[in-house]
Structure 1
Amino acid sequence: MAERTPLLPLLRTYVERDSTVAAQVLEAMSVPDAQEVMNLMPPSVAAKIVPHLQVSFAAALLQTATPELIKAVLKKLDAKRVVSLLAQLNVEDRERIVPHLTDQLRFELKEQLEYPEDSIGRIMTRQFLSFHQDTKVQDVTRKLRLLAKKQPPASYVYVVGEADRLVGVLNMYGLLLASPEQPIHDLMRSEIFALDGFTSQEEAAAELARRKYFAVPVVDGQGHILGIVRGQDLMQELQQDVSEDLLRMVGVDTDERPFSPISFSLRKRLPWLHVNLVTAFMAAAVIAMFEGLIAKITVLAVFLPVVAGQGGNAGAQSLAIVMRGLVMREIPSHRRKQLVLKETVLGATNGAVTGLVTGILAWLLYGNPTLGLVVGLGMLVNLLFAGMAGASIPLIMKSLRLDPAQCASIILTTVTDVIGFLAFLGFALLFRNQLM
């Protein structure tokens, strides 16, 4: 504890100048060290850091937080952030935090938890500006000036009519040019783009990007405005999802940090390494089938990693394109077969070109044209199947309601290794007399 005490004044300076930098310093520590530092700091100071931390890391810090720190933190967070934090905690830790929630926060939490986890209802904020359509411009601008001293300026002002139903939207530019006595219903744009709270975050992000909007109102079935979803919040959620997918693709837990304890990292990574070990033995079993052939024609062993490696690279390219398309909702259901066919043809074309180059090099290096033919044909077949597998595996998993990021890369590696070895050594067996 004594060693970390000098960090406290430094962190406090960071918090006063930029809480984001303080959060980065804290995230560079291991979880136990960060927990100790947070509990040593005054709750009012430590609470300013939490909104800038990754959700999983913030949840880990709250597991050992004092009641005073929990109260201070909850004052700094809105409902959507609290929902994300609670989702990361076990039942025991949730029970420690829930009693400190305010009545207003409890109400907002109850409403947001009614929406699916990947919907915009989970991340919408109720911090928005709305005025009745008969309000005059001067009254709106007066209110905006008062609010500007307490919070960042809003991008849009929403207009409500009878029974508080959303009827229009204003932008700041229009307000600046309007007459002070003019009612805002004369300025508003009545063609409203709004979304239901059950809309998926991916779909909402695609719509905002296409329309180039900063935010979108969330309404219920009767047209009442419930909140807004900011484009920035949507992008952060999707970026976190993508980063978690990338980690899962290589068997790394999403809660692991750069300085997580070795025991924690080992416990999370080792099971995936065992799965990879099983698939590696599957590829080794294919090689074992041709053990006698390789013993007689040892040069085949030189090109085994070349054929398998190129297949893995080609498959990874197809997998990355399809995974990105799924995340960005760029792949409609009726065009999935077309996409698989396109990636298969592309894989075959790449295989033909790469196989030709590799075959010529093998011929020149070893003076045997048949060896070049075998290498080229093996490369062609492997890259063809790599393109097909890279495109079809995530699509099949998606249709089965499985997470493609969870094990798509492991399945792909197995396919490219097994097909690559089988094709290359199979052609070698076919032309063994010429090779010998």
Structure 2
Amino acid sequence: MNEHELSSDRLSGLDAATATDRLRRLRPEDAAELLAQMPVGRASTVLAAMPEDFRRAILEVAPPGTDWTDAQSYPAGSIGRLLEDPPAIFLSGTTVRDAIEAMRSLIRKRMVVYLFVVDGAERLLGVVAFRELLYARPEQTLDEVMIDRPFTLHPRTPMVEAMREVVTKHFPVYPVCEDDGRLVGLVRGQVLFEQQAFDISAQAGAMVGVEKEERLATPFSRSFRFRHPWLQINLLTVFAAAAVVGFFEDAIDQLVVLALFIPVLAGQCGNLGAQSLAVVLRGMTLGELRSLPVGRLLLKEGLLGLLNGVITGAVAATAMFVLAHGKDPATALPLALATWVAMSLGCGLSGVAGAAIPVALRRAGADPATASAILLTTATDVVSMGLFLGLAAFLVL
């Protein structure tokens, strides 16, 4: 395979590991050229997945304008991973005439939106919009026409937090500075929003155990390795729910009507837990969880679940009473009571589980979206079916 057979668009459609395999068949110069044509965040992800020796070879021949060396030194998911080299940096005191002269050759190679004015220690002092050069007098300095103390981003800021900071600003380019004000690069607004859109789209797959890195063009064998471990975990959780049903097998054999209501209980509790999970994940994404104590959150979701369970449980209990009364009137009221109590408590506990699972995953250092649905399904199934069958057996048998 040569450079012409592997386009940057095709490369962007591969997961990082597969993209690395394809790039290793090329010369480092050709691989670097292809990476430079990809979205910055995607190129940074592919570079991070490479073996150290191959990554170093590519960084040594990186095209002008790329900032991959610095980008790889920042944490995954941070603004630093999207860095590009600023094309136009000028020392304080530079005249407009000298800046325009220096720009003549530069603008043929790269698009320039802002000129960045720095001091001798490379600390950012201000920015000059390119169009302002048309109105400035040649003898003026950039300091006289610049916007001083401009808005900046920090390279270690997570992309989610950066999105909240820039959502009302809509600048085409954002300078990125360290704590001491030193300019380390820039991030394009379009690149930031594209990367965030990709992260959000990946959450739907992560909820059911699909790796964030898997793409439509990921090879069959690698897709299998991505997905299969999560299915094994899911199988274990299903066995846990099946074990609960098996424990009450005698009760189900004697009261066949119980089998009809097991899916009702599991489905209702599962849906309520999923509602709680969705709200908490959204709150994490928007940063709302930081201002709300976890205990208060769990209490709210538990009470919401309990209230919903009491109301829907009354409907289900009525249906149970009617069905059971036709078979054995003596068991109708106890089974209806078991249904109502089990759905009320089950929904309450499911609400707590839906809020607690993503919080626990985040505190454990894991992605809150990753396979939360799998863990939640197990929790709601075990709780709802265990309560229902246990209460029925206690009240009737």
TM-score by length of 1: 0.75
| Equivalent position of 1:86 in the other structure | 47
Quote how far apart the aligned CAs of 1:224 are.
2.5
The offset of 1:255, in angstroms, is 4.1
Q: Does 1:412 align with 2:385?
A: no
Higher RCO structure (Cα 8 Å, ≥6 apart): 2
Structure 1 residue identity aligned to 2:382: V
Matches within 5 A, 1:116-127: 116-127=75-86
Report the CA distance shift for 1:144/1:315 in structure 2 as closer, same or farther (over 3 A).
farther
Give the C-alpha shift of residue 145 in structure 1: 8.0
CA distance in 1, matches of 2:378, 2:309: 18
Q: Work out the number of aligned pairs and report it.
A: 389
For residues 154-233 of structure 1, the aligned pairs below 5 Å read 154=113, 156-171=114-129, 183-233=141-191
- Relative distance call for 1:101 and 1:74 in structure 2 (3 A) is farther
Pair 1:252-2:216 in alignment = no
- Summarize deviations over 1:305-326 as a string: whole Å, max 9, x none: 1111111121122222222322
Structure 2 distance, partners of 1:365, 1:432, is 15
1:388: Cα distance to partner? 0.3
Of 333, 345, 355, 1:381 maps to: 345
Please list the CA deviations of residues 386-433 of structure 1 after superposition, one character each: whole Å capped at 9, or x if unmatched. 110111111122222233334433221121011101121233234327
Cα distance in structure 1, aligned partners of 2:14 and 2:84: 19
Taking a change above 3 Å as real, the CA distance of residues 68 and 172 of structure 1, as seen in their structure-2 partners, is closer
Residue of structure 2 in register with 1:4 after alignment: none
Aligned to 1:315: 273
Equivalent residue, structure 1, for 2:23: 62
Q: State the 1:338 CA deviation.
A: 1.9
* 1:431 partner SS: helix
RMSD over aligned CA atoms reads 3.6
Q: What SS does the aligned partner of 2:260 have? A: helix
- Structure 2 residues not aligned, in runs of 5+: 326-331
Residues 110-129 of structure 1: per-residue CA shift (max 9 Å, x gap): 43333223332222111343
Deviation, 1:361, is 3.9
- When residues 121 and 267 of structure 1 are mapped into structure 2, their CA distance, relative to the original with a 3 A threshold, is closer
Partner of 1:276: 234
CA distance in 1, matches of 2:106, 2:315: 67
The SS at the match of 1:388 is helix
The answer to whether the 8 A contact 1:127-1:227 is kept is: yes
SS in 2 for 1:253: coil
Whichever residue aligns with residue 403 of structure 1, its letter is: D
| 2:359 aligned partner | 395
TM-score (norm 2): 0.81
Considering fraction of residues, name the structure with more helix: 1
| Structure 2 CA distance for aligned equivalents of residues 259 and 226 of structure 1 | 34
Letter in 2 for 1:411: L
